[in-house]
Amino acid sequence: MAKLQVELVTAEGRVLSEEADFIKLPGLGGDLGVLPQHIPLLTPLRTGEVMVRNEGQEQFLFVAGGFVEVLPDRVVILADVAERAEDIDEAGAEEARRSAQEALAQEPGDPEAAVALERAMFRLRVAEVRRHPGRRERRPE
């Protein structure tokens, strides 16, 4: 079967460049599953988790904002921030989550804290999925 060439790049450098059978992305309008021969698509991304599956092997990455360009044989993700699950600093994310929650408790509706909280939650989730591949369906929302 045809494969997808997945490129995940940020302004600082290339995070991932691999072949894949399937890729799941946090599209602006909802999660997006892409198989080879998808019609060309360009859409912004939310903060969330990217899953890349190749020959049954799944990889998880955290992305925060950016774009994805889908072509029949290629998926290019232009992320504002991207981290592989194994590179996520869990203690740092936990800390960020706590301070964002405190900020929100003091000033409900603070947009910066809300964004920070969302990011921290997703980073933790991506990191956790890597350690417990079985427990996948717990959503942070």
Binder to other proteins among 1, 40, 132, 139 (CB under 8 A)?
A: 40
**Range in contact with other proteins (rule: CB under 8 A) among 41-49, 50-58, 95-103, 120-128:** 41-49
> To the nearest whole angstrom, how small is the minimum distance from the Cβ of residue 25 to other proteins?
11
> To the nearest whole angstrom, how small is the minimum distance from the Cβ of residue 83 to other proteins?
13
**What's the rounded Cα separation, in Å, for the pair 21 and 55?**
7
User: By rule CB under 8 A, what string of x and - marks binding of each residue 66-85 to other proteins?
Assistant: xx-x-x----x-x-x-----
**What's the rounded Cα separation, in Å, for the pair 5 and 16?**
10
**What's the rounded Cα separation, in Å, for the pair 32 and 109?**
28
Q: Cβ distance 129 to 85 under 8 Å?
A: yes
**Which tokens belong to 16?**
């991932």
Binder to other proteins among 28, 98, 107, 136 (CB under 8 A)?
A: 28
**What's the rounded Cα separation, in Å, for the pair 140 and 26?**
14
Point out which residues bind other proteins (CB under 8 A).
7, 9-14, 27-29, 39-44, 66-67, 69, 71, 76, 78, 80
